[in-house]
């Protein structure tokens, strides 16, 4: 396994993390990490030994063929670094652990102290009654009033059971790291992963929060294709089609007209991407 020594001395580092399982409807959150790892050819720097933290009957090892050889892969949490022109991104991904959460979090926090990130962005996705035909709602919260004011986010007032994302968010804030949590809403009637549309929506919000151009790559086409495929499935079932139409009506009634801030944010996003292409 790699170690954490390569995590020191990074350029303006920011952390983006997601965990599979309870926090990851449609694998939308982990899909963002997978996209960033693949697209930016992130290098592995650190991996947590899975033996202490995972139930292998719940998170089973998998086998696959690589270059003609059979490979066995164990579920684990990996920490990788993506070197972008503007800054380094530390990417954390893996299944939510089954055991010893406090020790698991302690190891991640030890790693984060080495990184000393300028911001920690935690991603999640939940099943809701949002229609697949409308923009994906993404809610966001910040760890402090000042950070919330800077980014236009609220302070979380949630009370109740939480997952590893909520635990890590709390502990990072206790250490003084600025923390943003972003959650995408995934249609409950099409929960089967992957959901590239929700992953794309989360990626876009990460781009805004970090003020960093991120290449969506094939996610845009994948999201369009996903909507088309779900449209076909819905059209084959009159009851589901009627239900989706009702969700659309309610969504349209609840969605306010675009604000000046949202229009400005979209324009700034366009300028960042244009400048990246020119560079």
Task: Determine the straight-line distance between the first and last CA of the chain, rounded to whole angstroms.
Answer: 36
Residues 12, 109 contacting (CB under 8 angstroms):
no
Contact between 219 and 199 (Cβ < 8 Å)? yes
Cis before 194 (ω within 30): yes
Q: Label residue 256 left, alpha or beta by phi (over 0 means left) and psi (-120 to 50 means alpha).
A: beta
CATH number for 5-278 (one of 3.40.50.10900, 1.10.10.10, 3.40.50.720, 3.40.367.20): it is 3.40.50.10900
pLDDT at residue number 263: 54
Low-confidence ranges of the chain (pLDDT < 50): 1-2, 277
Looking at residue 254, what is its pLDDT?
81
Global pTM value: 0.89
pLDDT tens figures, 75-92: 999 999 999 999 999 999
Q: What per-residue confidence (pLDDT) applies to 261?
A: 61
275: tokens are 């400048």
pLDDT value of position 2: 45
Q: At what angle do helices 219-235 and 238-254 cross, to 10 degrees?
A: 130
């Amino acid at each position: 396994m790699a170690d954490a020594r390569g995590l020191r001395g990074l350029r303006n580092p920011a952390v983006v993390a997601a965990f599979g399982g309870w926090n990851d409807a449609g694998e939308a959150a982990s899909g963002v990490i997978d996209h960033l790892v693949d697209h930016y050819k992130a290098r592995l720097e650190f991996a947590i030994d899975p033996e202490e933290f995972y139930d292998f009957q719940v998170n089973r090892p998998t086998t696959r063929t690589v270059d003609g050889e059979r490979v066995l892969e164990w579920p684990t949490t990996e920490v990788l670094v993506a070197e972008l022109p503007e800054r380094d991104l530390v990417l954390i991904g893996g299944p939510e652990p089954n055991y010893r959460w406090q020790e698991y979090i302690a190891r991640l926090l030890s790693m984060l102290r080495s990184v000393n990130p300028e911001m920690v962005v935690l991603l999640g996705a939940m099943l809701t009654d949002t229609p697949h035909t409308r923009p994906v709602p993404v809610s966001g919260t910040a760890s402090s009033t000042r950070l919330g004011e800077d980014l236009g986010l609220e302070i979380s007032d949630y009370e109740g059971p939480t997952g590893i994302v909520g635990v890590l968010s709390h502990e990072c804030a206790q250490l003084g790291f600025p923390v943003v949590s972003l959650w995408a809403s995934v249609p409950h009637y099409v929960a089967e992963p992957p959901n590239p549309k929700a992953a794309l929506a989360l990626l876009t919000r990460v781009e805004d929060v970090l003020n960093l151009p991120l290449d969506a790559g094939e996610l845009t086409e994948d999201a369009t294709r996903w909507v088309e495929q779900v449209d076909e499935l819905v059209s084959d079932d009159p009851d589901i089609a009627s239900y989706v139409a009702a969700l659309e009506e309610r969504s349209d009634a609840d969605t306010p007209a675009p604000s000046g801030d949202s229009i400005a944010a979209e324009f700034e996003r366009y300028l960042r991407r244009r400048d990246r292409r020119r560079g």
